[in-house]
Structure formats: C-alpha cells, structure tokens
Structure 1
Amino acid sequence: MKRVLSLLVDDNPGVLSRISGLFSRRCYNVDSITAGVTADPRFTRITIVTSGDELILSQIEKQVRKLEDVVEIKVLAPEESVFRELIMVKIRANAAQRSEVSAIADIFRAKVVDAGKESLIIELTGNQSKLGAFLNLLDGYEILELARTGITGLSRGSDNVTIIE
C-alpha cells in the first residue's frame, strides 16, 4: 500500500534531515519526498510518499507526528486530494525526429524547454499516470537523462486548512 503524507513543519535548519533520518533508522521506505516554502515563511510543506502494510504505515504516521518540528500531518487520500509531479526528459532527437517528439509533447501539453543540435529537453507536469503514458510514447526514442521531482499534493477544498497564528 502507498500513502501520501503532507507535513507542515517549522522552517528550521535540519528538519528535512531529521525526518529522512527517522525513515532511515526505522528502515521505512520512501517512494518520493518533496519540500518547499509555503505562503507563510515560518513553515515548509513536505510531501512524503511511502509504502508498506497498514501496520507500518500507521507506525510511520505516529513516529513522524512525534517529531518536534512537525506542526501538522495530513494523510492525503487520492479521492480528496490533488497530486502533481514534474518531469524533465532529455531525448536524443535529430532534425528529422524533432517534429515527431514535439507532436508527442503537444498531445500531453508538455513544453520543449531547451533544444540542442542532437537533443530536446521536455518539461511535463501531471499525475503519475499522465507522466507514465508520456514516457511510454517516448519508448522508441533514446532518453539521455530523466529527472523527476516526486509527488506533491494538497487536500481539496477549504475545510481542512490549518491557520497558525
């Protein structure tokens, strides 16, 4: 089973290290982890995708909740949340292949963000199934490099928003 945790943490030095250290010490699996500033500069939002059985996932949530810098933790249910991921793909593409690759990018509303003599870099944001479908269509092309940000997400609506004074 996979679970997406959205953590609101104090923006203190080492907080991400302490959270990842907890996962490492307890041998918990991290599928992806993203962190970034929030609208309030005192806090950072960290999104962790982790996997395990129900007991392990419950233990992860309890252990993370105990950490000093963690202000709030939410389990983001897929049906009540919006998830996105960014990928950048560098593809070998000669002059003849550029239009084919660009056409595939257009179908997915991806952007060509850089072009070299023999390659293109394409940027795409979406859910994991969209990114997977895009990569499947690129199967016939040589992928030189691939970078993924990992999943980030927020719960839908305004009912579950934490306001900290």
Structure 2
Amino acid sequence: MNAHLQPTGSAYFLTQETQQSERHTLSVLVDNEPGILARVVGLFSARGYNIESLTVSETEHDKRLSRITVVVIATPKTLVQIKLQLERLVPVHKVHDLTAEGAYLERELALIKVNGTGDQRAETLRLADAFRAQIVDATVESFVFEVTGKPSKIDSFITLMQPLGLIEVVRTGLAAISRGPEGM
C-alpha cells in the first residue's frame, strides 16, 4: 500500500491527497420537510465549502421526497468529507456523486434578456435560432430568450449576446440524472 494511502485513524485516508480541485455534481434524496434545504446549505456554509449551483424540487409527491442537486468544486479529500457529512443528516436518504459514478445527463435553463433594436435585431434573432433559443417575450426594444442545455451552451450564448446588448440573465441551476435503467 502506498504511504499516502495508509490508515490514519480516519476514513479520509481512502482518498489520495491532491490539491487538484474538480467539479462534481451531487444528487441528494431528502425528505420534503421544512428546514432541510437550510440544513444542507448550512453544512456547506459552516465548513467554508462553496456551492457552484443548487437546485431543489419535490420529485416523489406521494413519498414526500425531494431531490437536491448540488454542484461543487472541491479537492477529492474535501469531496469525501462533504458526502460523509451529507449522509449523516437525518432526513437525507441517499447521496450520489453523479460525476464519479459515470454517465449522467445535466441540463440548465436560462432566461436571457437582450436589446433588440436597429441592425442588431436580426443578428440577435439569427444567433438565437442557431442555439434553439425560444423567444418567450418580445417588444420593439428587447427580447427574452429561453435557452436550455448544458451550462457550456448557455455560457456560449451569453457570450455571443454581450456585444449585441445583453441586459440580464437568470439561470435555474443544474438539473442532473444518471443514465441507465436504475434510479436513485
């Protein structure tokens, strides 16, 4: 066994010591009850862990279960700590690291408001069409587009809209699900 993977009296020795931070998407199944989101966020806040994206919604109404999708950028050691601490919260049923478990799908929705006047109006519409952005509101002065897809697609659309008169962006945060026949 490598010296850096020797037991130290802690379960954290199982993770190789590196300082390389990685982006991970965690899916957390919890009871849908008041205060659970505050407890999960408090866990991150109290330990100084940053949340890149957070979404939560009831997924099984009859069982009163909600799914929290959290995107974090952390070192492997910190990630192990996050998962273990989440699993210890009482209303948490399951914690899955979708990134580590293999193939998964992720999508995000954004509403993007852009100026739509003059010569740039046609270019704005052309680019929106190329990105399959839906027009959800249009006035003589502006458009609001709905864009769904991978975060990188949304980032690219926003970058292209900036010189055309980007006004405002609202993003939902990431929704993610594992591929294959098994559920959470």
Specify the alignment match of 2:26 in structure 1.
Answer: 5
Q: CA deviation at 1:92?
A: 1.2
Quote the sequence identity (%): 39
Q: For residue 84 of structure 2, what is the amino acid of its counterpart?
A: K
Distance in 1 separating the partners of 2:76 and 2:181: 28
| Partner deviation per Cα, 1:1-55 (whole Å, 9 max, x = no partner) | 1111001110001110110011011111100100112143411111000111111
Give the TM-score normalised by structure 2.
0.83
What CA RMSD, in Å, does the superposition of the two structures yield over aligned residues? 1.4
**Greater helix percent: which structure?**
2
Distance in 2 separating the partners of 1:92 and 1:139: 10
2:98 to 63, 68, 76: 76
Are 1:45 and 2:85 an aligned pair?
no
User: Does the CA-based 8 Å contact 1:92-1:142 persist in structure 2?
Assistant: yes
Where do 5+ consecutive residues of structure 1 fail to align? Answer: none
Are 1:152 and 2:175 an aligned pair?
yes
Counterparts of 1:26-41 in structure 2, within 5 Å, are 26-41=47-62
User: Does the CA-based 8 Å contact 1:8-1:73 persist in structure 2?
Assistant: yes
1:126 to 149, 168, 176: 149
Specify the alignment match of 2:131 in structure 1.
Answer: 108
Paired residue total: 161
Are 1:65 and 2:83 an aligned pair?
no
Give the TM-score normalised by structure 1.
0.92
Runs ≥4 residues deviating over 6 A = none
Q: For residue 87 of structure 2, what is the amino acid of its counterpart?
A: R
Distance in 1 separating the partners of 2:145 and 2:131: 11
* Secondary structure of the corresponding residue to residue 117 of structure 1: coil
Distance in 2 separating the partners of 1:145 and 1:68: 39
